[in-house]
Structure 1
Amino acid sequence: MKYLITGAAGFIGSRCAELLCQQGHQIIGVDNLNDYYDVNLKHARLANAQKSELFTFIELDLADREGVAALFSEHKFDRVIHLAAQAGVRYSIDNPMAYADSNLTGFLTVLEGCRNTKVKHLVYASSSSVYGLNNKTPFSTSDSVDHPISLYAASKKSNELMAHTYSHLYGVPTTGLRFFTVYGPWGRPDMALFKFTKAIIAGEEIDVYNNGDMLRDFTYIDDIVAGVLQIQDVIPTPNSEWKVETGSPATSSAPYRVYNIGHGSPVKLMDYIEALEDSLGIKAKKNFMPMQPGDVYATYADTQDLFAATGYTSQVKVKEGVKAFVDWYRDFYNV
């Protein structure tokens, strides 16, 4: 089949592209290669995917309506995996306007492309951040997500609403995946593991928020990508018996589904840091700080629906995953 992967120079997108090429699919990868973080890392990820002749990269900003429309019209994709977004909860506190073009307009151009060219399945990235003020754990897709606490989270909730509209009005099959704290080799420099590793090796302090009293459902990159590739084969169909009053918000009378994708077993932040210290062989200098705006105390995924649909289970435990990241980091940066 022919796939479009948006955010193809990104952490998850580049790995999805590699594996789909290995399976014999043709991949068109797009990315705007913005400088939110190190563009050299993005190019290095792309180089991995470009080892396959089945991968073609196109530099394109999804806010370019005409450009995206032309892309869809020319290639007639079978399926779309939409992972491009302006990421980061904390960045959205100080730079809210950065999220409008990427996460709202960019998603709308993709939806329009899917509608106009009759794409068979759109899988897109949502986020665990949509759970916002929800304190009930584990987080379930049957829970309300009407109280986000960052603009990033609000933009991801908006994506789910926009997808449902297109599924309902135009019959576009859409599946949203709420990712839970993805980490591993080739990860983003703005995320904790990357920042901690860089600082510890340099002998600098690491900022530990909420005095380290936090839980995260850390999910290894290979587990995430396996789930993405499994679910894109499960194309949602309308459920004629579904009703708003009694049905789960994760499904619909339209061809629409939302799933959690995470490890399903939260880890204490201090245990995560200890695993990193063990892998590095260096004790971290810690600067304990209060909770940051937009952060939540705990994330914890209920992945039963995804398991029922695909058989998905996470395989990689934190100590193993952190060591794999450290090994990659030392090799990539020669430190």
Structure 2
Amino acid sequence: MQRVFITGSAGFIGFHLSQLLLKEGYQVHGYDGMTDYYDVRLKQRRHQILLQSPDFSATEAMLQDDDTLQQTVDRFAPDVIIHLAGQAGVRYSLENPRAYIDGNVTGSFNVMEAARRLNVQHLLMASTSSVYGANTEMPFAETQKADTPLTIYAATKKATEAMGHSYAHLHDLPVTMFRFFTVYGPWGRPDMAFFKFTDAILKGDPIDIYNNGEMYRDFTFVTDLARAIRLLIDAVPPTPAGRPEDMTPINGDSLSPAAPFRVVNIGNSDTVHLMDFIVAIEDATGTQAKRNFMPMQTGDVPATWANADLLNALTGYRPQTHYKDGVAQFVRWFRDYYQL
């Protein structure tokens, strides 16, 4: 039974990934700081569900608590580490940038040190489509430069990617970074737009729509994302010395020439107009939104769109849930969870 250590296991994505791995026979240990960035009860409920499996165990502590992190990893002795924890949210990074340095840079460094010491088979870490920043050529491809981040959140994620490459090079540690594109679905984060929109619409409150609705996003359903991560566990980047001379190159591969390191987009490869997404929520709730159109927020980008060809080449898989189906599933969960 393969042992996987997941940081951020009580989070939105970590919860779904843990559920999938447990279902497929993995032994999982979750590590989560249970911060109050959003309703802790939601995080606690996710962990309660996971703890119903005998193959799941958990530790509640911060990534910055290095002693606890290292001791926990040593006890569990994982084969694979999947690092999802960190301070999320583009807009909150304008208010509290230090939380991003502490959680995303220092915390990620501690995780990399744990992976290096245990010489795990594969270290997989979460990044974000926000690292593409001011890039305008779309769909975004992993081989594009990502040197123009527009927020501290994006900058800390890009820093994690750069640190991951150095660890891969220095220690022959296989590292895969995945860039997420606007993840949504059941058990989502209350700070995210799809959650806020649904909550406000059902309460009869107005919703704030930025850039007057002229926004496009590559919406990725959370269980599709979890499936992609699960498949990437097995797509271990080879070391430069371990690559055969006749290895067939993958078109558009981001595999580093100097390290067992790769960046992979996880997105639907479909860009959806924000107003269409809002209409899907209205249809699922049966309620018309009160729309409050606003100018663009600082640090936001008007569009994201993933090229997911590399993911498909490595795993044979592409996220494919249509946004209308995904929204309907989320609204059903929302009504059930909040007993509406």
Q: Indicate the TM-score class for this superposition, using the shorter chain for normalisation.
A: over 0.9
RMSD: 1.3
Given the two structures, how large is their TM-score scaled by the length of structure 1? 0.97
Q: Which residue of 2 aligns with 1:274?
A: 279
Give the 5 Å matches for 1:121-140.
121-140=122-141
In 1, the alpha carbon distance for the partners of 2:298 and 2:29 equals: 37
Query: Are 1:183 and 1:220, in contact at CA under 8 Å, matched by a contact in 2?
Result: yes
Residue 253 of structure 1: how far off its partner (Å): 2.2
Q: Which residue of 1 aligns with 2:222?
A: 221
Query: Are 1:92 and 1:99, in contact at CA under 8 Å, matched by a contact in 2?
Result: yes
Q: Which residue of 2 aligns with 1:322?
A: 327
Give the 5 Å matches for 1:158-197.
158-197=159-198
Q: Which residue of 2 aligns with 1:287?
A: 292
CA offset digits 1:185-214 (Å, max 9, x no partner) = 000000011000111111110000000001
Q: Secondary structure at the match of 2:30?
A: strand
Query: Are 1:28 and 1:57, in contact at CA under 8 Å, matched by a contact in 2?
Result: yes
Query: Are 1:142 and 1:250, in contact at CA under 8 Å, matched by a contact in 2?
Result: no
Q: Say whether 1:331 aligns with 2:336.
A: yes
Residue 288 of structure 1: how far off its partner (Å): 0.3
Q: Which residue of 2 aligns with 1:47?
A: 48
Q: Which residue of 2 aligns with 1:66?
A: 67
Query: Are 2:20 and 2:227, in contact at CA under 8 Å, matched by a contact in 1?
Result: no
The farther-off stretch of 74-83 and 279-288 is 74-83
Query: Are 1:197 and 1:326, in contact at CA under 8 Å, matched by a contact in 2?
Result: yes
Q: Which residue of 2 aligns with 1:211?
A: 212
Percent of pairs with identical residues = 48
Q: Secondary structure at the match of 1:89?
A: coil
In 1, the alpha carbon distance for the partners of 2:255 and 2:334 equals: 37
The farther-off stretch of 72-81 and 187-196 is 72-81
Query: Are 2:4 and 2:79, in contact at CA under 8 Å, matched by a contact in 1?
Result: yes
Q: Which residue of 1 aligns with 2:265?
A: 260
Given the two structures, how large is their TM-score scaled by the length of structure 2? 0.95
Residue 248 of structure 1: how far off its partner (Å): 6.5
In 2, the alpha carbon distance for the partners of 1:199 and 1:250 equals: 43
Residue 250 of structure 1: how far off its partner (Å): 5.1
Query: Are 1:15 and 1:49, in contact at CA under 8 Å, matched by a contact in 2?
Result: no
Query: Are 2:253 and 2:310, in contact at CA under 8 Å, matched by a contact in 1?
Result: no
In 2, the alpha carbon distance for the partners of 1:52 and 1:249 equals: 37
Residue 249 of structure 1: how far off its partner (Å): 5.4
Q: Say whether 1:33 aligns with 2:38.
A: no
Query: Are 2:220 and 2:319, in contact at CA under 8 Å, matched by a contact in 1?
Result: yes
In 2, the alpha carbon distance for the partners of 1:151 and 1:238 equals: 31
Q: Secondary structure at the match of 2:114?
A: helix
Query: Are 1:280 and 1:326, in contact at CA under 8 Å, matched by a contact in 2?
Result: yes
Q: Say whether 1:306 aligns with 2:311.
A: yes
- The amino acid across from 1:262 in the alignment is G
Query: Are 2:216 and 2:304, in contact at CA under 8 Å, matched by a contact in 1?
Result: yes
- The amino acid across from 1:113 in the alignment is A
CA offset digits 1:94-148 (Å, max 9, x no partner) = 1101111110111000000000111110111000000000000000111110010
Residue 75 of structure 1: how far off its partner (Å): 2.0
- The amino acid across from 1:178 in the alignment is R
CA offset digits 1:9-43 (Å, max 9, x no partner) = 00010111111111121111010000000001001
- The amino acid across from 1:24 in the alignment is G
